[in-house]
Structures are given as structure tokens and as C-alpha cells.
Structure 1
Amino acid sequence: MNDVHATTRAELTRADLRKIMDLAHQLNDVTTVRQLRQTIMEALGRLIGGNLVGLNEIALPGFRSIVRYWPEEPSIDDLNERVSAYLHLHPTACYYFDTAADFLPTMVSDHVTPVRWRESPAYQEIFVPIDAVHQLTIPLFPDVGVQRADAYAINREAGTDFSERDRAVAAALQPLLVSAHRRLAHHGGDGLTERQVDILRRLGTGQTQEAVARSLRVSRTIIKRELAACNVKLGTVNVTSAVAKAAHLGIITP
């Protein structure tokens, strides 16, 4: 295992710094959550290198997770449920939540030997199905609030682990990613209207769509149309994920 604090930081090349600056300018032009997520995951795959990049959006307490992937979603129906169930056994997650003062990018290999990692339930249940062995995590949660713990994770298949140069690139990118997410969060959930926020808030309390339609004195069709708009603006795929994402962003109170 590596000692995270004893590791000598690799120096970035001019080419690395130029690419990081290019990404910073690109993120300034991003206006939607979906575009932000896609832009960052593509950049991480290009700048650091990995066969699968993910954004894990974690609701606290309870580790309820929604994971987005690039370049494509793995064809595993219960992957979010697997992540939610086993994340508390992931060595990197354990490290972050046991060491609240340290949210630097870190690798799985910093915290566990290869043998113990492959024997762990988190590896067997989450990583084997997506054909990943190595992982480098870039947490966002130092600056986005205590009700969520989001992080980008770059995954690689069996073979070469991440290098100190990869860690240095991740560390240089981290404040850019945190700032970009915070900027969009402060813009009210990517342009949600007052009615859309109200609908999500009511659904978050357990009301059904029919009950929300009755209380707002509108048709069920209008509710469906508003929820479809919420999915587009939040980058979600259904009512459950839209409510969860709105709670993650602090737009509604869970």
C-alpha cells in the first residue's frame, strides 16, 4: 500500500498545465448539469486515462448512491443498488469518512493490498461487474455541503495502476471541478422554475403525482410535463432520481 501523505507529488508538464487551463475555460461556458457532467468525465478519461469514468452522487446519511458513467452506462440493472449497499465497505470511502480533514484525490491501492482488495465484498459486487480493478477518486464534497458526498472516480481494468503523475493531475483538477459544481448548484438547480421545485418538494415528502396534481389544481399531464423538464434540467432519468438530485443540490429538503 502507498502512504498518501508520504508520497512525493509528481510535477506536471507544460502540456498537462495547458490542458488543465483549457478545461477551466471550457467549464466556464457550461450551463447545464448534464453538460457539466459529460464535459468533466470526458476530460478525466482523456487527461488521466481510464476505461470507465463515473460520477457517484451520494446522499448522506445512508450512502444512497446514483452513479453516472462515461463513455457509456454499464448494462447492469441494479448497479446503483449495489453501490449503495457496499459503498460503506469501499476502502477509499472508509478513508474519506474516517479522515474528515483529508479530501485529496486518492487511489484504492493507497489503502489496501491487491489481494485484500480482490477479496473484498465491494470489489466483488461493484468492480467485477464493470470489469474494473484500479480506481482513482476525486472527491467534490469539501465544498458542497454535508447532505451529499459526490466524487468522480476514474476506473481501469487489470494492468497498470494509476501513477503519481495521475494523482498530481487529479489534485490540480479538483478545485476546478468543485467550483464548477458549486456554481451550477448556486444557480437554482440548472434553471428549475418555482413550480418545478414545489412539485419535487411535494414528491420528496411522499406525495403521489396524483396527490400533487390535486393539491396544485392542475392535470396529471401537466405534472408529467413538469417532471420531464426537471429530468432534462437536472440530468436525471426518472422521478426518483430527480427528487434525489434536487435533494443533493440542496434545492429541496429531504
Structure 2
Amino acid sequence: MSKLLSRLQRKTEVAMRQSFIVIAGSLFAGFVGGVVAITLSGTTAGASKILATDLGPADSLILAAPDGMLSITNKEGRIAWAAAPSARAYSVGCLHIDRVMKGLLASERFTSERKKFENEARSQGEEFESRSKALQSKYSEIKPDDPSFEDAKREFTALQAEYEKWFATLQKIQSKHMAEQVQQAYREMTAALDVVADRQRIDFVYRFVPPDQPFDAVELSDAMMQVQGRPFLRVPASTEITEDVLKELGLTSDP
């Protein structure tokens, strides 16, 4: 009887081992199949089906260090390592504002406004020139000892003073007009920038000049200013959004 029980026990153990091998083989095949599926698909959706619980979801990730623990959490879609709002990992972008601003100011809308102003100024300047020629014609034969010489001098002096006053006023108006255009172009640029940044989920956008852009300076002071105007000495190409902003504004790549 005992021999019979021993044989049955051995057969049972063999059967269990065989079953275990079959089950283990099936699990291994399933795992390999899953890895191959992930590798071939290359998609997050495909990977999430297999590895959805490998590293989460979790409320936090605790990292150990000799000087203490660091808790990494998700705060409003950003990696956070402390409670302070500044302790966040923010995304960064770079914009070559010189290209964008020049593109806007060179557009038809801005140039037409400047041409209108220039035409008005030219018309007024031609009026002064006509009045000056009329005085020259009126007193073309006058001599210093002529009784009307002082009258001619006063008329020329008055016209010169009127012209200088007009020209000074013109310069102020022109400067104000250009300042308004620059401010308008800047507002339009930042509005387009906001659209692009929101679309690409960029938090900080820095103005920059490409480090490899040639210098345009003939004097030391100009060269130094251009050096100071290049805060980034190295910029990953993937962070630049200049082309995206130009496209959002409907401008060409090389204005």
C-alpha cells in the first residue's frame, strides 16, 4: 500500500512540474509577445496596455539621498519637488524677436501708414521749398545797400525760423509715430506668441539672438552692445519657436 502511495505521489509531482513548465512557458511567451508588440507598435497606447501599472499611477515618487528624501509630485501638470510654486519644472522656449519685429514693421499694413506720413511731410517740405524759391526770385537782384535789403533779410530769417520749427515738430511726430508702430508690433508679436506657447504648452519664452548670427558692427561700442544682446551662448534648436510665431502672424520665414 505504501509503495502504491509513493508511486502516486511521484506521478503527481511529475505532473505538477510539467504543468508548471507549461504555465511558465505560456507566461514567458505572453511577456515576450507583449514586449514585441510594444516594440513594433511604438505607441503609448500599446505600451500602456502592457505596462500600465509598472510605475504608477502614484501620488508621489520618493527619491532617497544621504542628506534626506525628495518627494516628486505632479502639480498642475508639472513636476514639483516642494510646496512652493517656484519649485516646478517649467518648459522653455526661445524667440528671435528681431526677425519677428522686422517682419511686422516691413509688412504692408505698417509700411502704408509710414508712406502716408512721409507723403504728407514731403508735401509740406515742398511748400517751404516753393516759398524759399519765391523769395530768392523776389530779391534776386538786391544789394546790401538796397533800402529793401533789411526787409528781404527779415523775410528770409522768418521763413528759416518757420522751417526749423516745422522740421523739429515733424521729427517729434515721426518719432512718436514710429514708437507707436513698434509698440503695436510688439503687442501683435506677444499675442501670437501666447497662441503658440499655449498650443505647445510652453511656460517661459526668452528673447534671444542666435549665437552664430554674424555681427553687424563697425565700432567697438556696437560690437559690445551686440555681445550683451546675446544672453544665450548655446541654444537647443528644439526650443526655438520663431518660425511658429512667424507662421501664426502670416509672415514669411525671411522677412
Q: TM-score, normalised by structure 1?
A: 0.19
Structure number with larger C-alpha Rg: 2
Higher helix share: 2
